[in-house]
Amino acid sequence: MATRSSRRAVLGLLGAASAGGLVAGTAVPAVADDNSGPVPEGLLPGGELDRYVADKAAADEFSGSMLLTRRGRTVLARSYGMADRQRSVANGPGTLFALASVTKLFTAVAVAQLAQQRKVTYGASLGSYLDGFPSSVADGVTVHHLLTHTSGFGDTRALPGYEAAEAGWTTQEQTMNGITDLIREAEPSFAPGTGWFYSNAGYHLLGAIVEKVTGMSYYDYVRQYVFTAAGMTDTRFLTRPEWQAGRNIAHPYHRDAQGQWADGITQFGYVVGTPAGDAFTTCADLDRFGRLLGQGKLLDPDWTALTLSGKVPMVPAGTAPADGTGVPAQALFQCYGPMGALVAGQWAFNHGGGNSNGISTSFEVYPETGWGVMVLSNYAGDVVQSVSGLARELIATGR
Q: Report the SS3 class of residue 228.
A: coil
- 349 three-class SS: strand
d(CA 299, CA 155): 29
Tell me if 198 is assigned to some domain: yes
Higher pLDDT, residue 34 or 363: 363
Vertex 170 angle, CA 169 and 175, to 5°: 50
Q: Containing H/E element for 107? A: helix 104-116
| Last residue of one domain, picked from the residues 207, 227, 247 | 227
Residues 55, 139: one domain?
A: no
Region at 229 (left for phi over 0; alpha for psi -120 to 50; beta for the rest): alpha
Judgement on whether residues 113 and 90 belong to the same structural domain of the protein: no
d(CA 155, CA 338): 18
Quote the pLDDT of residue 319. 53
Interval 251-265 mean pLDDT:
94
Q: Flag whether 32 is in a domain.
A: no
Identify the pLDDT of residue 134: 97
C-alpha 156/C-alpha 228 separation (Å) is: 28
Whether 262 maps to a domain, the answer reads yes
Does residue 56 fall inside a structural domain? yes
Res 320 pLDDT > 80? no
Q: Is residue 7 part of a domain?
A: no
Structural domain boundaries, residue 147: 105-227
The yes-or-no verdict on residue 163 having pLDDT over 50 is yes
- For position 36, what pLDDT does the model report? 67
- List residues bridging with 31 in a β-sheet: 38
> Would you place residue 318 in the very low, low, confident or very high pLDDT band (cuts 50, 70, 90)?
low
Q: Which of 398, 396, 353, 395 is nearest to 378 (CA)?
A: 353
Taking a C-beta distance cutoff of 8 angstroms, is the pair 399, 40 a contact? yes
Residue (of 160, 177, 167, 154) closest to 240 by Cα position:
167
Average pLDDT of the chain? 90
Same domain, yes or no: 176 and 124: yes
Binned at pLDDT 50, 70 and 90, residue 326 comes out as: confident
pLDDT, residue 194, reads 97
Domain boundary among 187, 211, 227: 227
* 5 inside domain: no
Provide the 3-class DSSP secondary structure of residue 187: coil
Last residue of a domain, one of 200, 227, 254: 227
Q: Are residues 121 and 202 in the same domain?
A: yes
Q: Are residues 66 and 154 in the same domain?
A: no
Q: Are 51 and 76 in contact (CB under 8 A)?
A: no
The span from the first CA to the last CA of the chain, in angstroms, equals: 36
279-310, pLDDT tens digit by residue? 999 999 999 999 999 999 999 999 999 999 99
For residue 256, tell me if it sits in a domain.
yes
357 touches 4 (CB < 8 A)? yes
Entry pTM:
0.91
Instruction: Count CB-CB contacts under 10 A for residue 364.
Output: 24
Cβ distance 197 to 137 under 8 Å?
A: no
Residues 122 and 239 in one domain: no
Do 226 and 257 contact (CB within 8 A), yes or no? no
**Is 317 in the same domain as 359?**
yes
Is residue 309 annotated as part of the catalytic site, yes or no?
A: no
Print burial letters for 196-213: b (CB count within 10 Å at least 16), e (below 16). bbbbbbbbbbbbbbbbbb
- Pair (291, 196) in one structural domain: no
Contact 188, 134 (CB under 8 A): no
d(CA 14, CA 63): 17
Give residue 237's Cα distance to chain centre.
14
Cα dihedral across residues 31, 33, 37, 41: positive or negative: negative
How many domains, the chain?
2
Q: 314 and 332 in contact (C-beta within 8 Å)?
A: yes
Mean pLDDT, rounded, for 374-378: 98
Query: Domain containing 332 — which CATH number?
Result: 3.40.710.10
* Statement to judge: residues 384 and 238 lie in one domain: yes
Cβ density class 225-247: b for 16+ within 10 Å, e for less: bbbebbebeebbbbebeebeebe
Contacts of 333 (CB under 8 A, 6+ apart): 309, 310, 311, 312, 313, 314, 339, 340, 341
> Do residue 241 and residue 387 come from a single domain?
yes
Q: Please check the confidence at residue 259 and state whether its pLDDT lies above 60.
A: yes
Residues 6+ apart with CB under 8 A from 69: 75, 287, 291, 370, 371, 372
Q: In angstroms, what CA-CA distances link 205 with 177, 188, 270, 331?
A: 10, 13, 17, 29
Pick the catalytic residue from 6, 18, 65, 101: 101
Mean pLDDT of 240-245: 94
- Looking at the fold, whether 375 and 261 belong to one and the same domain comes out as yes
Q: Are residues 295 and 313 in the same domain?
A: yes
Residue from 61, 104, 101 nearest 81 by CA: 61
Whether 110 is in a domain gets the answer yes
- For 238, 240, 271, the CA distances from 278, given in Å and listed in that order, are 8, 11, 11
Rg of the chain over CA atoms, in angstroms?
20
